[in-house]
Structures are given as structure tokens and as C-alpha cells.
A and B are shown apart, each in its own frame.
Chain A
């Protein structure tokens, strides 16, 4: 493989501080498909598009604009691996580019620390960058093991796709970006009818989020999938730990392993379950691992 594409990772908080196994999977797999990860200083929380934004939208926008300004100074493309981070950074860009008065107001705040948001940086989710800039075939070329016959029930969640006028990723009702990626990895994507349903994490209620998660796992079970393949760390907390909560509170056991798509890629690239951090999950993926040849 020739020259690698240098990208700056915006790790956010959930991955490095809650699910480092996802960060591990990214660090291990991207170099194999021609991406060089260039870590930089200066980022903070994106900040989170649910609770912090609910607290104060202007502060939310200010912090996001600072992160974007930090990225602009570096001059490389930025990738995020978290649906929450991409949601915040893309929406902040959209709002600032849409409204020059708002941009001036925010830039006045950034001036206090000698920073400015100009609107020049490209921020994409890693899967989007792979599809649009490298082409999905680079994934196929990196594979060493066959995941043939492993059925993956894909879960999109919300923020990777919506709102499509901001995210520019796919048809928000009939997406196929993750199906294409899972097929390139060599596994079989299976349709589950709740693949676009919210995991419920942002709903500030004791019962509703669990009901949503349950509905999703009923659909995964019906689909006959061996595991769930997902892209969002917040969904992951709803689904991995969430299955234990459903078992405890509702007496229903699904026991369906939840795998971050880049962990799946790692397995196909010949990495072991430990090398992609699967041993850190509550629901063990043994049955999936047995099928890998």
C-alpha cells in the first residue's frame, strides 16, 4: 500500500474513558486500510449533544466551535468514531456556516483564547471517510480471516444519519452504509426491523429507554442474527449492559453479543478477540468467534 492518508482522530469521551476497547479496535484496524492516525493535543469533550446541550446551547456551540478551531489549525482532515461527537461537530459547523451573525458572536468568545472558527475543516465519521475517500474495497484487501456465514444484525442508531441535511451520510430511512461495510468485512448483514430505532438513552425516564432497547433485541432475535453490529458507543452502553438490566428488571434474557463494527473488522483482519477488546464486553461473543475460520 502506498502513502497513507493522515487523519486526526477526535476521540471524544465515551471511547477513551468508558469503552477503550473501541479505541483499541480503531487504532489496530485503520492502519491496515491505509489510514495513519495522528494524535493531537487540545481537544475537549465535543461537547455532548444531549445533556450539555440541554443545559446551555450557546455554551455547547462555543465549545464545539473551539474544537473545530483547534482542528483547523492542524490542517488535516478529522475523523470521529462516535455518533455523538459527529452529531455535535457537524451540527455546530452547520449552524455557524448558516448564520454569519451567530458565527461572529461565537468567534468573539474564541478570540479570548486567540482562536477562530473559519469553516475550513473537514470532519467525517470514520465509516464515511472510508466509503467516500478510500473506497470500501480497501477494507476487502486488508482481510486475513473469513467471517463467512456470521450474521450481523445491524443497528444504526440515530446520530450517524440524522438529520441528513446536516450529516450528509446516507438516506436516513433506507441507509446501506453499514450493510456495505459489513459485507466488505466478509460477514452477512441481516435486516432487523428496528435497526433505526433510538436506543432511548437520551430519554430522561426510568422505563422508556429499557422498553426501546427490549424492542430492538426482540427484532434482533427474530432476525436470526448471531450478533449485533453497531457504530455508536452510547447505543453500546444501552445494549451490552442494557441486556443485563433487561434480564434483571424484566426477566428476559437475550444474550446477544454487541460488537462495534471496527472490532468486527479487526477479527476479519486476523486480530484476536483480546486484540480488539471483545473480552471487555458483558455479553461474551464466543459463539461468533467459533465461526471464524
Chain B
């Protein structure tokens, strides 16, 4: 019987342990309950939450947070969190890995576009004049001011202030 040498990168696991929610990866005993309920796994062979957890246990940094990682195929549905008998909260481990990928600048470029509004304007959706008109037409109240300075104070940094009123948000 041939023996294949397996190495574990504990330094990566330590880093993951320090990200909020990352520590729970240690509890995984590879039972696959998460796979059975995972919608992404149902629709693509490229995503399997058990394999992601296995790679986390082995500390496979490149596979997990390098370019084109499968973690971005997670649908964020929380079915794995619901089902996991070990309180691994697989989706939360995956989100912790996403945070690490963002820090390494290997996240898909689309993520920036989808998440940057909040730090700049306090809301996730771009406020367009079309939506203001639509609100008026429906007889809805004016939009409230968003306390963006407070937000930037607690986030501890000044995000670039580019307030884009108009964008191609509504087709």
C-alpha cells in the first residue's frame, strides 16, 4: 500500500481562526450533510461545501482564496448552517474565506461594484432620479437623509466620496 504524504498548513488555519466566524471550521467531521442540502452543489459540480471545509482543514490557501476560487459560487442560502450537526456554520466559514480573499485582492471584480455603495452613500442601491420620480408618482414620502458621516466614523476610514446620483441601475 502506498502512502501519500499529507501536509497541513496550520498557519493558514490560524489566520482563518482569527476571522470572525472562521474558527468553526475546526468542528467539521466531513459528514456531507451540508452537501445534501446545498443548492449550488445541486446545480454545479464545481461547488461542494464539504470539500471547501476539507480544504480549510488542510489549510489549502491557494485553492480557497486564490484567483477563481469556488467559494464565490455559494448562494448564501444558509441551508448548510441549518443542517450542520456540528455547528460549523459552513456558510459563515465561506464568508470568512471571502473576507480573506478580499484582503488578498483575489475577489471577483464584480464584488467591489456590488458592495462599494454602502461605504460611500450608506445604502446599497444607487439612488436614481427615476426611482425618486416613481416614489413621487406612487405617493410615497421623500427619501430620508442617510447619516453617512456617522457611518464613516465607525468604519474608521474615509471611503472615497463620489456621490453618483445617476447611474444605469434601472433598465
- Residues of chain A at the chain B interface (Cβ within 8 Å): 13-14, 16-18, 20-21, 23-24, 27, 39, 41-45, 47-59, 61-63, 66, 87, 95, 102, 109-110, 112-113, 158-159, 162-164, 172, 197-198, 200-205, 208-209, 211-212, 277, 280
> Is B124 interfacial (CB 8 A cutoff)?
yes
Cβ–Cβ contact B82 & A202, under 8 A: no
Cβ–Cβ contact B99 & A63, under 8 A: no
| Chain B stretch 26-62: residues in CB contact (< 8 A) with chain A | 39-40, 43-44
CB proximity of A96 to chain B, nearest CB, Å: 11
> Hey, which chain B residues are within 8 Å of A43, CB to CB?
144
Cβ–Cβ contact A212 & B43, under 8 A: yes
Give the CA-CA distance A53 to B20 in the complex, in Å: 11
> Hey, which chain B residues are within 8 Å of A55, CB to CB?
98-99, 102, 107, 111, 115
Cβ–Cβ contact A21 & B138, under 8 A: yes
Instruction: Kindly supply a per-residue 1/0 record for chain B positions 5-28, scoring 1 wherever the CB is within 8 Å of any chain A CB and 0 otherwise.
Output: 000000000000001110000000
User: Which of A13, A23, A63 has the most chain B CB atoms inside 10 A of its CB?
Assistant: A13
> Hey, which chain B residues are within 8 Å of A47, CB to CB?
118, 124
> Hey, which chain A residues are within 8 Å of B77, CB to CB?
158, 162, 198, 202
> Hey, which chain B residues are within 8 Å of A113, CB to CB?
150, 153-154
Cβ–Cβ contact B82 & A162, under 8 A: yes
Cβ–Cβ contact B99 & A109, under 8 A: no
Cβ–Cβ contact B155 & A62, under 8 A: yes
Cβ–Cβ contact B145 & A20, under 8 A: no
* Given A56-B99, A172-B82: 6 more A-B contacts, CB < 8 Å: A44-B122, A44-B148, A55-B102, A162-B77, A205-B73, A212-B75
> Hey, which chain A residues are within 8 Å of B155, CB to CB?
59, 62-63
Cβ–Cβ contact A162 & B76, under 8 A: no
CB proximity of B77 to chain A, nearest CB, Å: 4
> Hey, which chain A residues are within 8 Å of B76, CB to CB?
49-50, 158, 198, 202-203
List 18 A–B pairs whose Cβ atoms lie within 8 Å, in order of A's numbering.
Answer: A17-B123, A24-B139, A41-B147, A44-B147, A45-B122, A45-B124, A55-B111, A56-B99, A57-B99, A58-B20, A95-B20, A164-B82, A172-B82, A198-B39, A200-B39, A203-B72, A208-B43, A208-B44
Give the CA-CA distance A66 to B148 in the complex, in Å: 12
Cβ–Cβ contact B151 & A200, under 8 A: no
Cβ–Cβ contact A208 & B73, under 8 A: yes
> Is B2 interfacial (CB 8 A cutoff)?
no
Give the CA-CA distance A47 to B95 in the complex, in Å: 15
Cβ–Cβ contact B99 & A159, under 8 A: no
Given A13-B123, A198-B75, A212-B39: A57 and B19 within 8 A (CB)?
A: yes
Give the CA-CA distance A49 to B118 in the complex, in Å: 12
> Hey, which chain B residues are within 8 Å of A23, CB to CB?
140
> Hey, which chain A residues are within 8 Å of B74, CB to CB?
202-203
Residue of B nearest to A201 (CB): B75
> Is B104 interfacial (CB 8 A cutoff)?
no
> Hey, which chain A residues are within 8 Å of B125, CB to CB?
13-14, 17-18
CB proximity of B64 to chain A, nearest CB, Å: 14
Give the CA-CA distance A164 to B78 in the complex, in Å: 10
CB proximity of A125 to chain B, nearest CB, Å: 15
> Is B141 interfacial (CB 8 A cutoff)?
yes
Give the CA-CA distance A78 to B77 in the complex, in Å: 24
Residue of B nearest to A46 (CB): B124
Given A66-B150, A198-B77: A61 and B124 within 8 A (CB)?
A: no
Residue of A nearest to B89 (CB): A163
Given A109-B154, A203-B74: A24 and B118 within 8 A (CB)?
A: no
Cβ–Cβ contact A197 & B39, under 8 A: yes
Cβ–Cβ contact A44 & B146, under 8 A: yes
> Hey, which chain A residues are within 8 Å of B114, CB to CB?
51
Cβ–Cβ contact B154 & A162, under 8 A: no
CB proximity of A207 to chain B, nearest CB, Å: 9
Given A52-B124, A66-B150, A198-B77: A16 and B118 within 8 A (CB)?
A: no
> Is B110 interfacial (CB 8 A cutoff)?
yes
> Hey, which chain A residues are within 8 Å of B126, CB to CB?
17
> Hey, which chain A residues are within 8 Å of B79, CB to CB?
158, 162, 198
Residue of A nearest to B87 (CB): A165
Give the CA-CA distance A12 to B18 in the complex, in Å: 30
CB proximity of A22 to chain B, nearest CB, Å: 10
